[in-house]
Amino acid sequence: MKPTSTRSALVRIAAVVSLALAATACGSEDKDSSDSAGGSDEPVTISYWSWMPGTKETAEAFNKAQKKVRVQFSEVPAGLAGGYDKLAKGVKAGNAPDVMNVEYQALPDLVTQGLIADSSDLLGDTVKKSPQQVQDLVTLGGKQWAAPFDVAPQMMYYRKDLFEKHKIEVPKTWDAYAEAAEKIKKADPKARITAFWSDDTATWAALAQQAGATWYTAEGDAWKVDIDDAATQKVAGFWGEMVKDDLVFNHKAWSPESTKATADHRVYTRISASWGAGALKTEQPDQSGKWAAVALPGWGDGKTGMVGGSSFAVVKDSKKAAAAAEFITWATTSDEAVKARLAAGTSSALPADEKLRTVAKESFDTAYFGGQDVYAAASEQVPNINGGWVWSPVHNATSVELTAALGKATDGDFSAALAKGQATAEKLIKDRGLKLAE
């Protein structure tokens, strides 16, 4: 029987996750919490790993702000095969960091592998400052495993100069988006409405979430996988037609091909998230003043999805958990941390704590967007993020196979790729010793 509400679904998921946690995270509470500075004149030094823009500046600002705890920052590669793999090896070898940035979609996997410490007592208050959609992503098995930093509603960035030049209305629905794509191709034959990153699992997940999908849910004590459900198939059908009709560039995510097409003024919109403003500004510095941010086109219900988003977690077996928590609390709740993270202009992360968004707006130079308040535009979309979305303990590995399969669908037929993702997730759940719903 399916859960009757979002809240009951989350309670059931907590029970399912707890089964995995019991076997893998039992040692996470065996921490020395007496490491908080205060009893000695010597500062406590903690290590911090991240690859996210502005995080090095965050650590430097923290070190300047106080003398009790010192942070040693190390940049690690992004993603499953980068920082997360290094974290797993570090925990096994006994040389893992004290603090790690973890994306929401990766957290359940890392928790059930026993790589992250239960931070309920140390960081319990930080989660309460976030929207419910974010709280649900860092609270598993009734315990808090990380402190949220940002929320990432999906957004559309568009070339306002090119839309105005060709007198094309900025689309608010996906039907209108397809119509705009046809007009753009006719008016500017070498251009397309977007470079669709067809192999980007994070983009697909957010588009599916917007359409009402829930890729992972729990039924009783078992996981249910719905990667190829009707809502996701609707999304796949829309983008498949856009590819087949040659109305979009079908590029790999973050590829040089995509970057060049944008630099050559042949891309009119970018489907991204709140953090995409900083990424666009960094990637295309010569297009200052030409872009604007608006709500993502939708299906008529005003909903949107969420792409990524990140948290700060205390790593398993850290002997300096209390000091690590001091840094994490500062990094996720203070104005100074937000200023440091955003001042360089490479990050436009939208704080999960609404009270920090004013200082975020003040810290990010919006001249690139013609002075538009891109933070207000993104913040307005936070309540519209479809609720009930959770990530499974096997999504990291599932995404590897799904990304590869999506990348092969150059003809716009994404059905086989979704089926591959479905089968992969179901197998991985069984391989992890978890129960798969019938």
For the stretch 327-380, pLDDT in tens is 999 999 999 999 999 887 788 999 999 999 999 999 888 999 999 999 999 999
Identity of residue 422: Q
Identity of residue 178: A
Report which of 86, 118, 152 is spatially closest to residue 348, judged by C-alpha positions: 152
Q: What are phi and psi of 254, to 5 degrees?
A: 60, 25
Q: For residues 169 and 176, give the distance between their C-alpha atoms in angstroms, rounded to a whole number.
A: 9
Distance between alpha carbon 348 and the CA centroid of its chain, in Å? 13
pLDDT of residue 9: 43
For the stretch 231-276, pLDDT in tens is: 999 999 999 999 999 999 999 999 999 999 999 999 999 999 999 9
Helix (H, G, I), strand (E, B) or coil at 14: helix
Class of domain 6-151+308-352: alpha beta
**pLDDT by residue, tens only, the chain of 438 residues:** 333 344 444 444 555 555 555 444 444 444 444 455 445 678 999 999 999 999 999 999 999 999 999 999 999 999 887 899 999 999 999 999 999 999 999 999 999 999 999 999 999 888 888 999 999 999 988 899 999 999 999 999 999 999 999 999 999 999 999 999 999 999 999 999 999 999 999 999 999 999 999 999 978 789 999 999 999 999 999 999 999 999 999 999 999 999 999 999 999 999 999 999 999 999 999 999 999 999 999 999 999 999 999 999 999 999 999 999 999 999 999 999 999 998 877 889 999 999 999 999 998 889 999 999 999 999 999 999 999 899 999 999 999 999 999 999 999 999 999 999 999 999 999 999 999 997
User: 436 and 276 in contact (C-beta within 8 Å)?
Assistant: no
pLDDT of residue 40: 62
pLDDT of residue 300: 96
Q: For residues 191 and 187, give the distance between their C-alpha atoms in angstroms, rounded to a whole number.
A: 9
The partner residues of 251 in beta bridges, in order of sequence, read: 197
Domain boundaries in the chain?
6-151+308-352, 154-306+389-431
The partner residues of 99 in beta bridges, in order of sequence, read: 48, 314
Q: Which residue stretches of 66-117 are H helix?
A: 85-93, 107-112
Angular region, 154: left φ>0, alpha ψ -120 to 50, beta rest: beta
| Strand locations in 299-389 (E) | 310-314
User: 210 and 386 in contact (C-beta within 8 Å)?
Assistant: yes
Q: For residues 79 and 96, give the distance between their C-alpha atoms in angstroms, rounded to a whole number.
A: 17
Report which of 367, 395, 338, 381 is spatially closest to residue 58, judged by C-alpha positions: 338
DSSP annotation of 127 reads G
Q: What are phi and psi of 218, to 5 degrees?
A: -120, 140
Domains 6-151+308-352 and 154-306+389-431 share a fold: yes
DSSP annotation of 83 reads I
Q: For residues 352 and 206, give the distance between their C-alpha atoms in angstroms, rounded to a whole number.
A: 17
- What's the CATH number of domain 154-306+389-431, 3.40.190.10, 3.30.70.2700, 3.40.50.720, 3.30.565.10? 3.40.190.10
Q: Could you tell me the end-to-end alpha-carbon distance of the chain, in angstroms, rounded to an integer? A: 10
Helix (H, G, I), strand (E, B) or coil at 102: strand
Helix (H, G, I), strand (E, B) or coil at 206: helix
Q: What is the pTM of this model?
A: 0.90
DSSP annotation of 229 reads S
pLDDT of residue 345: 77
Label residue 301 exposed, middle or buried (CB < 10 Å: 0-12, 13-18, 19+).
exposed
Helix (H, G, I), strand (E, B) or coil at 200: coil
